[in-house]
A and B are shown apart, each in its own frame.
Chain A
Amino acid sequence: MTATDSRPITRATASDDLPPREPRVLSFSQRLSNWDLKISPYLYISPFFILFAIVGLFPIVYTAVISFQDWDLVRNTGTFVGFDQYIWILTQPHFWTALRNTFSIFLLSTIPQLVFALFIAAVLDRELRAKTFWRMAVLLPFVVAPVAVGLIFTAIFADNFGLVNTWLGNIGLEPIPWHTDPFWSHIAIATMVNYRWTGYNTLILLAAMQAVNRDYYEAATVDGAGPIRQFFSITLPSLKPTLIFVIITATIGGLQIFDEPRVFDQFGRGGAGQQWLTITLYLYDIGWGQWNFGRAAAMAWILFLIIVLVGVVNMLITRTFVRDEGLRSELSKRQQKQLAAQAKKEVSA
């Protein structure tokens, strides 16, 4: 669009009453303008791309290089060892524990978070008084640093004298072994994640809810559907793309979890029996506890591949979901397929 330079104007004015023109020679300022037009876009993107190449792309490529080496910290060079570092990691029991813990914390944080976020968003999606106030109120925990959230909840979930265990004692229940039992430590860490992110996701879902065409609800009400039925039959299907988006972002962030488990006790190594050791905690321990950069780099690539894998799975789910968006057919997918097969049979018969 912006590729219209000044030439059309000169032609328009020139064609009126002037004698035939001599062969066009671009004036200096015209050439300057052309040059400006061609070069400018590259000039504008160059600050980003030059910096991005140095601090974003180069390290990623170099991590791959280092992951195939045995890195010598003193000489700051490495010797090529092939896939040894990857094999070393995949044969460590700690790695598999960390993988289990990461997925466990991820599931325990993502699923309740989405359920709560959907519920709160549905409540916010009304003609409330002081709308902005309530939206801000929901978002409040988002500005508290993950480390701060981690420290607060570590005190709340302290094994002795922690708020929850004291309260359980008051009503005559056994204290929960928050730090010794893997499952309960995952619950505690997932609670920190839920605390910080539920409000954020609520607002994303709320925005998507408000974009739903209100006529659907009108029609549903006329047809006699109650609010609950409307939520499950109209709101939820319309939210599918947004839900997938939220799930993908939660996956990318959740599989990298580090801050909260790091401060869950004062040693920061994932517990005496690796109860809450996560992949990134393990990566940190390999890199800056054992000072083995080759293995840390391999670990980083394994983490990236896991994220890509989960992302691809999500993508496949997205595709099947997005296809039926807006179709609102009364037939389910399965019925449609059956009908299609039937029609085919009849045609060929």
Chain B
Amino acid sequence: MSLSMPPAIAMVEAIPDEPKRRRNRTIKIRGARPSFWSYLILTVVFLVGFFPLYWSFIIGSGDASSLRRPFGWVPGANFIANVTAVAGNEAVSFWPALWNSIYSSTLIALAVVVTSTLAGWAFAKLRFHGGPALLVFVVATLAVPAQLGVVPLYILFAELGWTGQIGAIIIPAVTSAFGVFWMTQYLRQAVPDELIEAARMDGASMIRTFWTVGVTAARPAAAMLFLFTFVGAWNNFFWPFIVLDRQNPTLPVALSLLQSNYFVDYSVVLAGVVLATIPLLLLFIFAGKQLVSGIMAGAVKG
């Protein structure tokens, strides 16, 4: 429901729209009508992006020797067998990893959206002592690498007995400086101050104003923030790799474990890669448009 379509499109289309209209006027002069070559180049780009995934599927559907054989375009018959080998591998715990990835990424994305929307609303639309300085501080922390916190976090979670628990990867990820910055930027231009004043005049409390005006306006940006945080959490490797173990990994950790045997059977490894990539490919098919607009909208403002 929060992925309500109309505002999302309105937000994004608002940016490329104006130049587009102007361009129509100048198009004859500029001669920017795409030629056959444009489509050819883009097709090549698409194939270069798609080929490694298809190739993984080809190898992943073959047997242990498929990497040594000349490359063929037709998938083999062993994909299900290889997937079973991945899932049945005692050292990897693939299905728990899939479930861990799904629920940890969802919880992280939800938490980031809630904390960022609240803080973003305050920074964008409420005047308070120290507000601007705090926002600058938040933005400055964007340059801090994840590596700077891992040693104390590990000591902390080891003390709590949380190493190997999924909670140890959720808790450090529930806030995002990027998320706060993103929501602040969006809400600043999406909500006219008059609207808030009107709500206040009508006697709405602060929380009521936030709920009816802020949250409603924030939905499209919040949906995009959810998507990006979800993808980021799903793909995150460094910290989960440190704090989780073989029994209870996330997907990227499980994938790296698949390969860490002395003898590497690439048909099984790549079957695992394909299997672990399918959920995000599905997400991409349904929400790829939002990802594209999110990146482009962020760029214009940033």
Contact = CB atoms under 8 A, between A and B. Distances in A.
Nearest to B53: A144
Contact of B197 (A2, A144, A258): A2
Contacts of A28: none
A123 B40 CA distance: 10
Given A1-B193, A45-B119, A136-B288, A307 B145 contact: yes
Contact of B127 (A1, A60, A204, A268): A1
Contacts of B251: 145
Most chain B beta-carbon neighbours within 10 Å: one of A3, A155, A296: A155
Interface stretch (B74-82, B88-96, B216-224, B255-263): B255-263
A151 B255 contact: yes
B15 A55 contact: no
A41 B126 contact: yes
A128 B34 contact: yes
B292 A44 contact: no
Contacts of A232: none
Interface string A245-278: 1000000100110110011001110000000000
B207 interface: yes
B1 interface: no
Nearest to B41: A123
Contacts of A129: 34
Interface in B205-227: 205-207, 209-210
Given A52-B175, A148-B255, A263-B259, A280 B238 contact: yes
Given A51-B115, A204-B296, A300 B147 contact: yes
A59 B152 contact: yes
A152 B52 contact: yes
Contacts of A256: 145-147
Contact of B152 (A63, A154, A211, A258): A63
B287 to A, nearest CB: 10
A312 B77 CA distance: 55
Contacts of A212: 19
A237 interface: no
Interface in B74-117: 114-116
Contacts of B159: 76
Contacts of A262: 237, 241, 256
B127 A2 contact: yes
Given A55-B175, A203-B295, A217-B26, A266 B262 contact: yes
B244 interface: no
B45 A153 contact: no
Contacts of B139: none
A242 interface: yes
B14 interface: no
Nearest to B197: A4
A58 B302 CA distance: 28
B151 A300 contact: yes
Contacts of B56: 152, 155
Interface stretch (A156-164, A173-181, A326-334): A156-164
Interface string A283-304: 1100110000100110011011
Interface string B123-164: 101111001001000100111111111111111101100000
Given A155-B270, A207-B299, A214-B22, A44 B210 contact: yes
Interface string A31-57: 001001110111011011101100111
18 contacts: A1-B127, A42-B122, A44-B118, A47-B115, A76-B159, A123-B38, A138-B49, A140-B46, A143-B283, A145-B280, A151-B256, A156-B55, A200-B295, A207-B15, A207-B296, A245-B299, A252-B145, A293-B155
Nearest 6 Cβ contacts at the A-B interface: A59-B149, A41-B128, A40-B206, A62-B152, A207-B296, A1-B193
